[in-house]
Structure 1
Amino acid sequence: MTHIDYYFATVSPFTYLAGTRLEEIAARHGATVTYKPLDVMGLFGRTGGQPPKDRHESRRAYRLQEMRRQGAKHGMALNLQPMFWPTNPAPSSYAIIAAQAAGGGDMGALVHGITRACWAEEKNIAEDDVIRAALTAAGFDAGLADSGMLAGAEAYAANLEEAVSRGVFGAPSYVVGDQIFWGQDRLEDLDLHLAGKL
């Protein structure tokens, strides 16, 4: 069975803009997915990238144009400058790690719910009540927001190390074997790859 390692950041607008298309693609091809939230700012620092605030003005302007276009293309509400961004991605990432370990809910809905809260609903995804609401909406126990903090922190750090070792340099990235698909705008290529066409 084909497996997809999904490296993403809960504070990434492009993770939000992926919606639940990854899950639709995986279902179509009978592929499994492992969700690997990571510290994208740490990833940039390790792989030659820069946080958005430190990029040249032309790059920052293009990023906003691309966010607006991708939101419109996929019919998704998007605030280009959300009230609670940047924020601490660790608590929401730990909750996702705990939810994956516990099982029983919809992981795609959880990731999308958390990123939507940041990029479309003006909510602070570092706050417990926001995380708990996303867990509940995706069919998980809200108490997962309070459990497994040490294990979550260890997995979060390990995800970053693993991503760097595998050649991942941005989020979201979808990895199948030695093939890396970077960005939600490469989901079509991932789909074609899984179909044996790329």
Structure 2
Amino acid sequence: MNVLQSDSPLIVYVDVKSPYAFVAIRPTLALEVELGMKFDWRPLTLDIPSYLGSAEKKEGKVVASSGRSPKVWNAIRYSYGDARRYAKRQGLILKGTEKIWDSSIANIGILWVVEQDRDKLGGYFDAVFPPFWRRELDIEDVDVVKSCLAAAGVDADGFDDFQSGEGRALHDDLQPQFHPHGIYGVPTYVIGDEVLFGREHIPYLRWHLSGQKGPAPDIAYEIEPC
């Protein structure tokens, strides 16, 4: 699978453990419905310790930390605060994670749903993202991910083998391709030869996918009704 190529008009890269991906899911799904299109949703499992260091919390207090300067901590706090504002406008709860999760199994679940029953992808996202960000979901447990598949109405039979075999291979094949192709975070949208990071590009995506009528819109977050 080539990270920049798809039969779909738009590729969307997300990671369950990203707060910015979390607040982009619903607006991007809504755009998909609005335009009557099916986007190509794919996982990008972030290697957060490689660029932001690592940390673990218990009851809100840091109990272990490595490679995080005060500047990095401030940037992380700002990122969560920024994402939390947009989560609140969608009626969602976004609590900071207490460790850096391995989200690969839940992300491989995206590939499984696309393969098994693409129309239930939104249901899978609803079963995974909101409870994870309420700190209610162990996304490193394959049985928990299977329960999320079942909650979305997706047959989970065979997922054990998929997440350790074919699905894992597809997932792992994508990962080393990202940085060389200018993809560093989520959500990332690939449209034609453009790589766009962040949900602030949704107005532009709508304009582009709708035929580019009139001037291109400004790059800005769309504000959902309260």
**TM tier relative to shorter chain:** 0.7 to 0.9
C-alpha distance in structure 1 between counterparts of 2:134 and 2:34, whole Å: 28
- Aligned length, in residue pairs: 192
User: Which amino acid is 1:115 matched to?
Assistant: F
C-alpha distance in structure 2 between counterparts of 1:188 and 1:51, whole Å: 33
C-alpha distance in structure 2 between counterparts of 1:158 and 1:17, whole Å: 26
3-state SS in 2 of match to 1:103: helix
Q: How does 1:66-77 map to 2 (within 5 A)?
A: 66-77=82-93
2:28 is the alignment partner of 1:22? yes
Change (3 A) 1:171 1:51: farther
Within the candidate set 143, 146, 171, 2:160 is matched to 146
Which range moves more in the overlay, 138-147 or 151-160?
Answer: 138-147
**Structure 1, residues 9-65: CA drift from partner, whole Å, max 9, x if none?**
1211122112322122122223321221122117x85xxx53575362321221122
C-alpha distance in structure 2 between counterparts of 1:111 and 1:82, whole Å: 18
**Structure 1, residues 97-140: CA drift from partner, whole Å, max 9, x if none?**
22222225511221342122210252111113321221112221
C-alpha distance in structure 2 between counterparts of 1:57 and 1:19, whole Å: 25
RMSD in angstroms over aligned alpha carbons? 2.5
Q: Which residue of 2 aligns with 1:8?
A: 14
Query: Cα distance, 1:141 vs. partner?
Result: 0.7
User: Which amino acid is 1:40 matched to?
Assistant: L
Within the candidate set 80, 88, 92, 2:106 is matched to 92
C-alpha distance in structure 2 between counterparts of 1:73 and 1:51, whole Å: 30
C-alpha distance in structure 2 between counterparts of 1:65 and 1:52, whole Å: 19
Q: Is the 1:95–1:144 Cα contact (8 Å) retained in structure 2?
A: no
C-alpha distance in structure 2 between counterparts of 1:52 and 1:173, whole Å: 23
Q: Is the 2:189–2:195 Cα contact (8 Å) retained in structure 1?
A: yes
2:173 is the alignment partner of 1:158? yes
Q: Is the 1:9–1:38 Cα contact (8 Å) retained in structure 2?
A: yes
Q: Which residue of 1 aligns with 2:94?
A: 78
C-alpha distance in structure 2 between counterparts of 1:16 and 1:121, whole Å: 13
2:147 is the alignment partner of 1:133? yes
Higher helix share: 1
Q: Where in structure 2 are there 5+ consecutive unaligned residues?
A: 1-6, 56-67, 217-226
3-state SS in 1 of match to 2:165: helix
Q: Which residue of 2 aligns with 1:35?
A: 41
> Segments of 4+ in structure 1 off by > 4 A?
none
Q: Which residue of 1 aligns with 2:223?
A: none
> Over alpha carbons, which structure has the higher Rg?
2
Change (3 A) 1:136 1:72: same
Q: How does 1:177-196 map to 2 (within 5 A)?
A: 177-195=192-210, 196=212
**Structure 1, residues 58-80: CA drift from partner, whole Å, max 9, x if none?**
2122112212211122221221x
